Structure 1
Amino acid sequence: MEPLGAADPRRIGPYALVGRLGAGGMGAVYLSRSSGGRTVAVKVVRADLAEDTAFRDRFRREVAAARLVSGAFTAPVVDADPDAEVPWMATAFVVGVSLHRAVATHGPLPEAALRMLTAGLAEALVGVHGAAVIHRDLKPANVLLALDGPHVIDFGIARATDGTALTSTGAVIGSAPYMSPEQALGQHLTPASDVFSLGTTVAFAACGESPFGDGAGAAVLFRVVHTEPDLSAVPAGLRPLIERCLAKDAALRPTPREVIAAIERPGPRPDPRVDPRAALPPVDAPRPSAGWLPDPIAADVLALRAALTALPAPEPTLPLTGPTEVLPGGSGTAPTAPDRRKLLLGLTGGALAVAGTGTVWALTRDTSKGNGKNPLGGSGGTSGGTPRPSAESVPDAKLAWQARLPASVAQVLPGSGIVACVMLAEVVGLDRRGEKKWTVKGADHGDMPFAVTGPTARTVAAVAGDRLYVSGARFTASGGGQTGGRARVLGIRMADGKDPWTIELADRPAMGVLDFPGVRDGRAYVFPMTTDESAAYEIGVWALDLAARRTAWFHRTEAMPVFWGLPQTGGGLLYADTKRIVAVDAKGGAAWSKEFQAVLVGAAGRYFLVADAAGTLFALEPATGRQAWKAAGVVETSLRGDGVATDEKGTLAFVLLRDEDGGFSLAALDTASGRTRWRSPLPADAEGSSRLGARLLYADGNVYRMGADGMLWAFDASNGNPRWKYGGFKGNSPTELAWGAGDRRLCVSDTGATTVAALDANGA
C-alpha cells in the first residue's frame, strides 16, 4: 500500500482515506475508514471520467449489480454515491491475500485447501448467479484467501444475464488464460462461463500455472477453444470434477450447486497397491476455519490483519492533513518496507478492472523448460574460463528523475528531448526534468483508447524520427452501447504533441490492436484484431505508408503473432507462434512459412533471427527462408520479449549466451556472418531469483539488460564491459516493468503502478 500523495483526496463521503491500494484505467482504490472505525475499500472514479455522462450511467449500473451480489464468499457493497461530484463505491475490505500472489509466493495449494477453495468459489457463484449476474472475470487475482474462506471480488466487468453491459466502452472483457471458450469466441454467455473460469482458477491453484499454458493472449485463447487442459497436477480425487467444469460444451458443465455437492461427497479412493497415498485418511468435506489455509499463507493473512488493526483511527469530521503510513503496532516507526509492502500491495477487496481495447493480452512463456541453472551470487567459471565479474565492482547509477502520472503507464518512449508515456486514455510527454510538457487525450481523436495497462501490457506505440505513432481503436456508440470499432494509428510531433493526424483501417471492424511491432523505412506495422459478421476475430498484419498516410497492405495471418521480427531494410516482417514461423514480403504476401518451435524471434540487418528450444539461433534469408548462419547457446526471449537487440545499422546482434556455470555472457554477433565479435561474462543475478530469459535493449552505445531480479545493467556495446547498474527496481517482477531507451536515456515504467523513472545513458 502506498501513502497518499499530494493529488490524492483525503476524504470521500463519510470515509477518511488512509492509503492507496491500487490504481487502474478507471481510477484508484483506497484503504479507508469510517468515523466509526470500519475499514473499507473505496473505489474512486477518475475526475475526467466523472464528467462523462455515459460513463456515470455505466458506473451506476455497475454499483447496482454489485449491490445485488452479497454472500459469505463475496465482498459486498456497503456504501456508494454514483451521483457525487466524484463517483465512488465502498466495499467491505477482505483481510486476505490474492490466490495469484499466494501461489506465486508459496507454491500450489494442498488438496484439503483446494477442496475448500472449490466449494467457496462455487458458493460465491451461487450468489452471483442468483442476482442474475455473470462475473466474466473470475481468476486467481480476483480471489482473496481469508481465514474464513475464499472471497470473490471485482465485478467491474460483470454483465447481467439479460445482456445489459455494466461497464464502459473498451473495458476489459476477460483474462485470456481463465476465459471460457464461448467468451473467447465472443459468443453469448451464460452462468456456465463462470464455472469454466472456476475450473481454470482451481487448476492454477493446484498446478501453479494455467491449465492451458502461457503465451500471448491470442495463442492461449486458441488452446482454450481447441485443446484439452493439462490437469496432471490436480489431485486425483478432484480431477474428474475440474474436468467437468472445463468441458468445451457449456451444457456439460456442472452448476455451482452441483460443484458444492460433488465436493461434499467423498470421492473414490485410489488403489493402495498402485498409489501409496491411499493409506492416508480420507479428506473431509471442507469447512470454513482458520486452519483451512497452509501455514505460510495463513501467516501472511495474520500479518496483514495485524497491520490493519494498527491503523490510526481517523477524526470523525476532519480530513487527513497529510500522508498516513501503515505502521504495525502503532510504534510510529516503519518496519522493513519490502516485507510490509509485499503483504499490503494489491490485496484490496474492491480492486479495479483495468480498461483496455479488448482482451488483456499477456506474453508469458514457460521458462521452466529451458536449459541451465538459476545464476547464483559470486564469481564462477564461464564457457571460456573467464572469471565472472562481481556485481559490487560495477558502479551504481543515479536516478535522473521519477514522476507520477494519473494512470498506469503501458509504454515509455524517449526521443526529441521528451519521454512519451502511453496510458489507456492519454499520452503524456515529459521533458528532461520529468515535468509534464504536453498531453494528448484519446477522447479528442474519436474516443480512441490507446493501451491495455498493467503487467499484461504489450507494445502499442513507436518513435520514428521526430514523430510518435500510437495505435488504438476508435469505437462508435449509439444509445449508450458500443456498435463497432476501427483500428487506427495516431501520429503526433514528439517535441510538443502537436500536428496530429490519423490513419484508419476503414474496411475491417476491429476490437483493438494486439501489438505495434514498429516502424521501418517509412512504414508502420500493426497487428489489429479484426472481426467479421459472426463476431469471430482474427489477427492481421497492417502496413501503413506514413508519408502518404494510407494503408499500404493488409495480411491475414497464418499463425498467431506471438513473436515478430522487423529487418532494418527490405520491408516485410516475420511473425510466429510456438509452432510456425511465417515471412511476409514487402507487398504483404506470404513469402514462406515453416513449422518451427520458436523461443526467440527477431531481426538484424537484412536477416530474420529465430532460435529453437535447444538454444540454436538461425539467421534466415527473408525472401526464401534459407539459412545464412547459425550460433549455439543462445538464451530464449524474456516473458515480455526483447530477446535480441541490434545496433543502429543492424550490423551487430546482441544476445545472451548460456555458460557452463549456469550464468550468462553477453555477446555481439556479426549479422553478416554470425561470427562472435566479443563475448563478455555477466555478473551473476541475485541468489534465488527466477530465470527471466533474455531482455535486452540497445541505444547510445549501451547494451541494457534487465535481470531476473529487476536489476538494470548498462554494458559498453564495443566490448561488453559493464558500465553501471541500477537497483531501484530490484525486487519488482520484470514482467511488470516496461522500458525504452534512446535520446541518451533509459526510461522505465512500473506498469502495475503510476510511476515512470529515467536514468542518463552514462549513469550519472
Structure 2
Amino acid sequence: MLGPLRGDSPGTIGPYRILARLGADATGEVFLGDRGGSTTPVAVRTVRRDVARDPALRDRLRQGITVARSVTGPHLAPLLDADADAEPPWLATAYVAGPTLSAAVRWAGAMGEAEVRMLGAGTARALAAVHAAGTVHGDVGPGSVVLAADGPRLIGSGPALLPPPERVAGGGQAVPASDVLRLASVLRLAATGRDELADGPGPAVDPAGTDLTGVPEALRAVLEDCLAADPAARPTAAELAERLTPGAADRWPGAVRGQITEYERELAQVIALDGPLLPGHPPAGDQAAPHQPPTAAGFVAPHQPLTAAPDFVPPLHLAPPEAPGVPAPPRRPRRALGAALAALVLLGAATGGYLAWRDDGPAGPARGGGSRPVTIVAGVGEKGGPDASGTVPYGRDVRPTGWKKSWKGRFSQPPLGCSAGREALVCRLVDGSYEALSAADGQQLWGMDAGLETGGKEAHYGPNGALFVPAGATLPTVYDDTVLFVVGGSLQSVDIRTGEWNWETRAGEALALESAPVVVGDLVLAEATRPDGPQLIAVDRGTGVEKWHLTLAGNDLPNARKANFWPVATDGKVAYAITEQGPKAFRPVDGKLLGSAGGEAEPANSNSGCGDLRLRGASAFCATSVPNGDPSGFGEDMSVLRFTAGDLRARGRVTVDAALAAGARLSALDDRVMVLSRGDEYATSVPDEIAVVRRADGRTVGRFPLTLHPGKGTSNPVSAPLIVADTVVWADTSTLYTVAVRPDGTLGTLRKTPVRGAPGPGATPDYDRAQGIQLGEELLPPQVLPMGGVVHVVYDDGTVVSVPLPG
C-alpha cells in the first residue's frame, strides 16, 4: 500500500506536497501527494530522467498529456496536472483508493452476474470516453481496473501485454474493438475467477478458444459478441455499456467493500499525518520479503513494483486489503517505454489499485489540530491490535471520541482483560461478566452477565492447572461500534455504547485467558466446541451467519497437548490460529489452508511450543521457551522463531542477547526493537526487568529494573509493555513509564510519570495456592491500553485512570 518516502524522495513535485511513496516501475516512481489548501489526494508520477532524455519519448509524453486533457467521462482517473518540460517530467492524476480487479477476485473469488454487469458497464463507459477522444487504451486488463467505492475506475498500466488477434495477425495498431475484446476477457475473469488475461506477456486472446464455462447465460451472449474474431463485428464500448446496464448491481460484494474500506482508511491515516510518511514512523514495516498468500507461482506481491518495497504493519481496522497476487511484470524493453508513457498519461498510472504496495497498511497519528482526525476502528488490547505485535499504530494526536482531559473511573470487580475503542473501554471481570466505561470521561455505560448460574465462582486455575472462567467468557474484542465476545457458549455482538445485542450464534469457550474473537474484514473468527473437537468458525460480522468452519484439534488430546485453539492474529489478509500441529495460516474468505509453522526436522526452525504468533510486516514471530541449566530445574530461556507471514515458512531464529534470554517473555516488537518482560519466581537469578533489544541482531539497548516487591508484605505488579508512537510504555501500581525509541533503534531517557488516583502497591495475597490460584484473590498486573495520545491504565481493584501519553 502506501510506503514511506526514501532519503532521495522529493519533498514537492510541481505544486504538490509529497506524502508517501506508492511504488515504481520501468518508467519512473509514483507518489501520493496533495496540494496546499486542497483535501483531494493525488497520485504524482515522475518520469525517469534517463527516459526523459530521449527527445522522442518526451514528445510522446507531451502528446499524451494533450490527449489526456481531452478525455473526460465517468469511471476514469482524470489527469489533473502535468509538466512534460520539468526535470524530471511529472503528471498528477486523481488517486483512487481501492483494489484492482485482479486482487479483488483473487481475494474474494468470482462475482455474481449483477456485480459483473456493474463492473462491465462502468468500464465500458470509461472506454467509450477514451475512444471518443480519438485514442485507445491498449492495455485493458484485470490490473488496469480499480474497484472504487462508487464503481470501477479504468487506469493506464503500461503497454499492452496481451495483443489482440488482429495485432498478432499483422494489423499493427490496436483499434477500439481491441479494447472491447480485452474487456470481455476481464469480465470473464470477474464472472468465473479464471484469469486468461494475466498481467504479464502471453499469447493473444483467442476468441474461438475462450472458455466461457461458468459465465451466466445472459452475460455469456454479450461476451460472445465482444469476442468476435472480426473486430468490426464487436459492439462498440458505448453499445456494450448499454447492454450490460440492465440488471447491474449498485454496489460491490461485501468482501470487496471491505477491501475498499481498507484503502480509504489507510489513505485517511496517511493524510492525517499532516506531513510525509517517513522511514521509522510507526508503523514502519519489516524490510524482509513481502507478505503474500501463496499462488501457484509461489509468494509474489500483487502488482509488485519493480523496485524493492518495504512492508508495513497493518492498521487496526483490518478489513481484507488484498488478495494473493499475480507475478510481477517483467522489465520492459526500451521500445515499450513510449507505449507505457502514453498509457500512464491517458488514464492515470498510479492509484490505489496500481503500483501500490499491498503488503500491509500504514496507520499514523491524526492530523495536528484535529481537522481531519483518524477514526479508531479496531480496539487495542493486551497485545496491541489484531496483529498481536504489541505495537499500536495510532499516533499521539489520535484520541478517543470526546476525550478532553484525564479522568478516573471504576469497574465493579477486578478486571480480567480489556479492550479499548474510540467510544468505550470494555473489560471482562473475574465473575465472567462484562462492563463498559466511556472512553471520554470514564462514566459507566453498561454491564452484562452471562445470564447463567456459575455458583458464585470466580476465574481460577485448579490444582491441576486447568483454567476455569465463569461461563467460558473470553476477552472482549472491540471493532468499530461493536463489542464481540464468547460467553455461555455463544458468540455475541453487542453495541459498544448501549450493550444491546446485535446478534449471537453458537460458539465455544475460553481455552486460555487470552482467548478472544478476531475480526477480519466482514468476518468474525472464533472457536466453536464441536463433538469432533475445537473448530475455527467464521461468521458474518453483520449478521452472525456462519460462513465456514474447520477443525483445529481432535477431541481426544491429552491435557498436556491442549492449547489455546483459537484464532490469535490477523494482518487483514490472512488469519492465524493455533492447531494441535502448531500455528497455521488460513485464507479468511473460505478457510483455505495457506501454510503451517512447521520445520520440526530442524531444531533451529522447530515450532515446538509455539502457542501464539505476533505479526509484523512480512514476518510472523513466535516466542518459545527451552529449558536451561538453572539449578532450580525450572529455568527456561526464551527463543524467538521467525516465519514468513502468509505461508509460515521457517526463517530461523531472532537472536537475543544470551544474558537476557533466561526468564524472558516477548511483549512487543516493531521494526527496530523487541521489548521483553523478565522475571522468574523459581529461578531467583533472573532479575525482574523490562529489557529492550534491537530486532536486527538482539543486542541490548536498554534494561529497566522493576520493583515488584517493595517490602512490608506488599506487591507492585507491572503491566506488559506496549509500543505506541515510537514509545515503549508500561505501568506499575502507581507510575506510568515511557521511553522513546529513536529511528536508529536506540532509546531515550526513561520517563516516570506518577498516576494520580492509582491504587499503589497492595498487600501480597496470602492463601493456600496448593488448592489452586484464585484470580480474584491475586494482585493482578495493571493493563495499559494506549489509544494514540491517551493511555488508559486498568488496575486490579477496578480503578481506571486515563491520562495523556507523556512525552
TM-score, length basis structure 2: 0.38
Give the number of the structure whose alpha-carbon radius of gyration is greater: 2
TM-score, length basis structure 1: 0.40
